[in-house]
Structure 1
Amino acid sequence: MSQAVGNTALAYARVWHHVDASDRILGKLAERIALVLMGKHKPIYDPSVDCGDYVIVTNARSVKVTGRKEEQVLFRKHSMFPGGLKETPYSDMMRKNPDEVIRHAVSGMLPKNKLRERRLERLKVFPSYNMGVLGGNILRSWDDGTLPPDWDPRVPTTTMTLKQNWRFPVTDKKADA
């Protein structure tokens, strides 16, 4: 007799989430992304099982930090040779490689175990609103669970088209009555 109850394959199915990072605080954004990558929002969460979802982050160039972190934060990497320490200020990193800033913050929020790299592979970060072909994986509006009325998988999806398509007209019930 099977021990599985219900549709377990459906419970482990991965969903694509879209996050617009415009004017969001980096730490709070990274924390929420890490929870989704780990799968803690699902009732089947187990720390030893990789059951998280995909996350697409757009507008990484316009993420904000609080306090004086913009002047104080340094990103460090070392080549493992003597004198091989490279330090990059936050402002330079945001100008050159804004997706790496979010990736580094989310990496720090994930548990330090063997699942960390696999979870980070499911994080897709884009510096502007255009998310390319991957935007076709974001299928539905989480407000009411429906597809946009003019959804076409061949049309590239961007943050702007998602905002336009997911604003459904609200009918006034008093006017209809």
Structure 2
Amino acid sequence: MSQTLGLVSFALLASNFVEAVVGSRLLTKLALCQTRLAYSRVWHQISASKPHQTLTTQPDVTPPSLGRLASRIAVLLMGKHKPIWDPSTDCGDYVVVTNCAALHTTGRKMWRKSYYRHTTRPGSLKELTMDALMEKHGGGEVLRKAVRGMLPKNRLRDKRLARLKAFEGDAHPYKDNLVRFGGVVVGSEGWQQAVEKIRESEKKRL
């Protein structure tokens, strides 16, 4: 009788131990999955012609100006909005900007601001105003130059700038990649759905 009780108690202890081990492994897996989500790159979309809630002084009237739009894009490209940000690590996101043909500028910058390029040969200095540059290369090039000037001047600048996708109109080929638009989840899968799917897959693996 004592041997039977001993075997039963040992079986109960063993089952509790197995449940504890499996539970700890599951929690570890979930923590790792959530960490992967923190390090994953997110696709953001910003419209250059629509009013924004945080980038303008009159959020219901005027769209964001070129400078405020470029500074916000630079923050997203660098990843400074993330708690894992490090200046020596490229942890930024992708940014899709639409309606660049309708960039909003204040004052007379559209006609007075000039862009220069030089081939280092005497007499080869070229000058273009902002309106001429927009007519020749589009508003995306103007926005790209503004964002480039706001990024740190190091080896990561070109890699970060490559994640900026600028389009003149509303159409773009990255609709399936988008997750957030103005802070609202608009993709086919939001963060909650992604976390639930990862948890289900980890439970099946265990």
Q: How many residues align?
A: 145
Question: Structure 1 residue aligned with 2:151, among 104, 110, 116?
Answer: 110
The answer to whether the 8 Å contact 2:43/2:96 transfers is yes
Tell me the distance in 2 between the aligned counterparts of 1:19 and 1:95.
Answer: 22
Tell me the distance in 2 between the aligned counterparts of 1:70 and 1:146.
Answer: 33
One-letter code of the match for 1:88? L
Question: Structure 2 residue aligned with 1:119, among 143, 147, 160?
Answer: 160
Amino-acid identity (%):
49
Question: Structure 1 residue aligned with 2:126, among 86, 93, 106?
Answer: 86
Tell me the distance in 2 between the aligned counterparts of 1:72 and 1:126.
Answer: 24
Corresponding residue number in structure 2 for 1:8: 35
The answer to whether the 8 Å contact 2:78/2:93 transfers is yes
Could you tell me the TM-score, scaled by structure 2's length? 0.64
Change in CA separation of 1:17 and 1:101 when aligned onto 2, cut-off 3 Å: same
Secondary structure of the residue aligned to 1:136 is coil
Tell me the distance in 2 between the aligned counterparts of 1:85 and 1:129.
Answer: 35
Could you tell me the TM-score, scaled by structure 1's length? 0.74
Change in CA separation of 1:95 and 1:7 when aligned onto 2, cut-off 3 Å: same
The answer to whether the 8 Å contact 2:115/2:129 transfers is yes
The answer to whether the 8 Å contact 2:42/2:179 transfers is no
State the shift of 1:80 in Å: 2.1
Change in CA separation of 1:100 and 1:146 when aligned onto 2, cut-off 3 Å: closer
State the shift of 1:130 in Å: 1.1
Larger Rg: 2
Change in CA separation of 1:42 and 1:68 when aligned onto 2, cut-off 3 Å: same
